[in-house]
Amino acid sequence: MNDQRICAVINIGILATPKGLKAKAGTQQGEILSLKNAYLLIEDGFIKELGTGTPDLTGIKADQILDAGGRLVTPGLVDAHTHLVFGGWRAHELQQKLAGVPYLDILAAGGGILNTVGQTRKATENELFNKAAKALDGMIALGTTTVEAKSGYGLDLENELKQLRVAKQLDERHLVDVVSTLMVAHAVPSEYKHNRNAFLDLILNTIIPAVAQENLAAFCDVFCETGVFDVAESKAILLCAQAHGMRSKIHADEIDAIGGSELAGELKAISAEHLIALQDSGIASLKTGGTIACLLPATSFYLGKPYARAQNLIAAGVPVAIASDFNPGSCPSYSLQFCMNLAAYNYRMSSEQVLTSVTLNAAAAIDKAKIIGSLEAGKLADLVIWDAETLDFLFYRFGSNLVKSVVKRGILV
Ligand code: IZC
Ligand code: ZN
């Protein structure tokens, strides 16, 4: 990285961006601003002005001007759902998965998430930091400028704090911004296998208060799923976290529809994740609760599951965000470009709807829509210059990295 500070981006062929400070739903999800022959002026890492034609560049040094060469420019991509910090990988589960062993069966047998818990507990803070920083390097090269990171591979006080402290360090030391979510309710660790109530006590009375005390997470997420946490347990955990200042997210209907999306709406969760098995009652509840549907198409791809009902959600007026779900078990890829392609072809979303889902709506899903997610005066200068002349080209030329360059907080990466 050469850390060059940029004050103007000129000669933009098309500047494509959603507009506004909150998530877009319904027909608005597909309405974006498309400026031809555009420019952007940047001051102290924030967008000062955008317009068309040639800007007044008086006082700006030549090496602070970036010529986009007639290319497409969009906001930096926002990955609103990842399990970024973890030890090891789970490539050894690939053949089992391909042979048809279900994800939840691998977990029930003590593998899956619990395998990663073992590897994460063993790893030092330094090892976890270096591994996740490398992932962030890879993500920014693919156009991602802000990432949400969940804990949930510690499952005890010491190791949940360790994971969250690593995420905080990454936010402070890496160019990519990192927003943290406490997800201690990710699985019941083996030492509590026969005493899950004691684990729930630990979460409610020790871990949530400790994380709040250190201000280590903005959100709390729960894996509300068959054999993991049921609706009543999820509700108790999320309400406790809300009382400690953490807004709710829920892994809902990833595999079975057990009431997670209905709970998301009831608790006015900021987002509900996955929604592969979503029922009509879930859609209605998300709409009532003002909850954003955070869809994870690369997980459907990797687990061989159906694709979530994106069109029904959009038609019902629920804002749709799309994220990678990067994690070692159900989505070992962090490419949002791949997710965008899957969304176009499998959710049948338009290029404009997908752009909104990985920028403004994703920013809203992590409560950052006031400062990122669109190219507008006053927001951070987080943007991607693409090796493409039109938005459709990003979806048409799938399979390679189409990023030409990335600017993060006004710095050319
Ligand atoms: O490590 O398997 N679904 N949590 C819920 C995951 C996937 C991550 C994992
Ligand atoms: Zn997840």
Residue by residue, DSSP assigns 117-151 as: HHHHHHS-HHHHHHHHHHHHHHHHHTTEEEEEEE-
**CB of 5 within 8 A of CB of 64?**
yes
Q: Phi-psi bin for 110: left (phi > 0), alpha (psi -120 to 50), beta?
A: left
How far apart are the CA of 113 and the centre of ligand 1, in A?
A: 6
pLDDT in tens, 176-190: 999 999 999 999 999
User: What's the pLDDT band for 2 if we cut at 50, 70, 90?
Assistant: low
What does the pLDDT look like over 311-355, one tens digit per residue? 999 999 999 999 999 999 999 999 999 999 999 999 999 999 999
With a pLDDT cut of 70, the percent of the chain lying above it is 100
DSSP structural state of residue 86: -
CA gap 335, 143 in Å, rounded: 9
Residues 26 and 275: their CA atoms lie apart, in Å, by 18
pLDDT tens-place string over residues 288-323: 999 999 999 999 999 999 999 999 999 999 999 999
Report the atom number in ligand 1 closest to the C-alpha of 83: 8
Residue nearest to atom 3 of ligand 1 (CA): 330
DSSP class of residue 93 equals G
Asked if residue 127 lies in contact with residue 169, where contact means CB atoms within 8 angstroms, the answer is: no
Q: Which two tokens stand for residue 12?
A: 């933009």
CA dist 100 → 72, 277, 329, 361 (Å): 42, 19, 15, 34
The helix (H) or strand (E) run that includes residue 41 is strand 33-43
> Quick one: pLDDT at residue 3?
72
Amino acid at 129: F
Residues 323 and 342: beta-carbon distance below 8 Å: no
CA distances for 307 relative to 221, 253, 299, 302, 397, angstroms:
22, 12, 9, 11, 21
| d(C-alpha 6, C-alpha 61), whole Å | 9
**Angstrom distances, CA of residue 397 to CA of 273, 343, 355, 386, 390:** 28, 14, 15, 12, 11
State the DSSP code for 246. Answer: P
**Which ligand is closest to the CA of 149, given by its number?**
2
Residue 4 has pLDDT above 70, yes or no: yes
For ligand 1, what atom is nearest to the CA of residue 112?
Answer: 2
Query: In the predicted model, is pLDDT for residue 1 greater than 70?
Result: no
Mean predicted lDDT score pLDDT of the chain: 97
Domains of the chain: 4-75+374-412 (2.30.40.10), 78-364 (3.20.20.140)
Q: Ligand 1 mean position to 403 CA, how many Å?
A: 28
Residue type, 393: F
Looking at the whole model, is its pTM more than 0.85?
Answer: yes
Residue whose C-alpha is closest to residue 113's, from 16, 189, 43: 189
| Ligand number with the minimum distance to the CA of 152 | 1
- List residues, by chain if needed, whose CB lies under 5 Å from ion ligand 2: 325
Whole-number percent of the chain with pLDDT over 90 = 98
Place of tokens 């630990």: 202
302 near 332, Cβ under 8 Å? yes
For the Cβ of 329 lying below 6 angstroms from any atom of ligand 1, the answer is: yes
Reduce the DSSP state of residue 371 to 3 states and report it: coil
Per residue in 8-24, pLDDT (tens digit) is 999 999 999 999 999 99
Q: How far apart are CA 338 and CA 336, in angstroms?
A: 5
Q: What angle do CA 308, 80, 72 make, to 5 degrees?
A: 90
- The residue whose C-alpha atom lies closest to atom 9 belonging to ligand 1 is 329
Nearest to 230 by CA among 190, 188, 194, 193: 188
CB of 330 closer than 6 angstroms to any ligand 1 atom: yes
Are residues 82 and 27 in contact, defined by beta-carbon separation less than 8 angstroms?
A: no
* Sequence-ordered alpha helix ranges (H) in 142-278: 157-173, 196-202, 208-213, 231-243, 260-266
Cα dist from 86 to 120, 174, 180, 238, whole Å: 5, 17, 14, 23
CA of 183 to the centre of ligand 2 (A): 9
Q: Tens of pLDDT along 195-254?
A: 999 999 999 999 999 999 999 999 999 999 999 999 999 999 999 999 999 999 999 999
Q: 404: CA distance to ligand 2 center in Å?
A: 29
CB 136 within 8 A of CB 174: yes
* Cβ pair 250, 263 in contact under 8 A: yes
Distance CA 62, CA 227 (A): 60
Identify the bridge partners of residue 178 per DSSP, sorted by sequence position: 147
Residue 45 CA neighbour count, 13 Å, CB half:
9
DSSP, res 327: B
Q: Whose CA is nearest to atom 2 of ligand 1?
A: 329
- For the chain, the C-alpha Rg in angstroms (whole number) is 21
327 pocket-lining for ligand 1 (C-beta < 6 Å):
yes
- For atom 5 of ligand 1, the residue with the nearest CA is 223
